[in-house]
Chains A and B, each alone.
Chain A
Amino acid sequence: MTTKRSPEPFVWLLFSSGGMVTALLVPVLLFLFGVAFPLGLLPAPDHAYLASVVSHPITLLVLFGLCVLALFHWAHRFRYTLYDGLQLKKYSVPITIFCYGGAVVGSIIAAIVLLRAL
């Protein structure tokens, strides 16, 4: 039994906060933009109004935080799905690089997309 401290707490914090933020915000966004606006249940905001909301620094920050945390939540969960579900733990180094690297790449893409809204 080793007693070496694990780097796991940091990715676990991203995973758990990502799970909570995603569970709170994504259903609301999906309902509004996937159901309520297209079906006319709620009056849809026009493009110019939405563009001005999205280009506000606080909205950008919230959306960027949501993207980053959701991606790291996915990375952690998918890593353990591959480890335990598919029993691929012997490939832990490439799996770790793929999962968290994918989250980093996704975060960069999210930042670029969001900055374009400015």
Chain B
Amino acid sequence: MKKILKRYRAFLVVVAAVLVLTIFNYELGMKALNITAYSLKEMILVIPPIFVLLGLLDIWVPRETMVKYMGEGSGLKGILLSIFIGFAAAGPLYGAFPVAAVFMKKGVKFSNILIFIGAWSTTKIPMFLFEVAALGTQFAVTRLLIDIPGIIIIAVILAKLVSKNEIKKIYQNAENFDH
């Protein structure tokens, strides 16, 4: 019980803050709670299948396969696959992090994981269609064409900025996520 309270401490603090906000500004507080309920509904809809897919991936796909396609020495193939998986994914950015954790467990190269996060964050195939409809083909295509080299460059810089030791720690941390 104490452990649960400790883990949810930050959440409880934010809940209390929102309740105080609601007392002082009823309209704003209710609006915030309504939007929260809406996002919660969205989360409940999208997140469970992502985690189930991750569980299945973790159990069924052997580490060697993932290493071969996306690990050290996977080269251009690994980069393209990382971009493609990021683009084809569904859900908000925070859904990408658990996927990254399983990729780490399976020995995917660090820069490929960063490219995957970048791709997930910039666009998705269904989102791209939305963007075209709302802002025009020229806007959406230009953004996509700048983003592809952009996410690769950002990934390379990030991989250089952190030490081997730090990367090792991040990978070890990923091992503990389903225990």
Query: A and B from one assembly?
Result: no
Binding site for A on B (CB under 8 A): none
Binding site for B on A (CB under 8 A): none
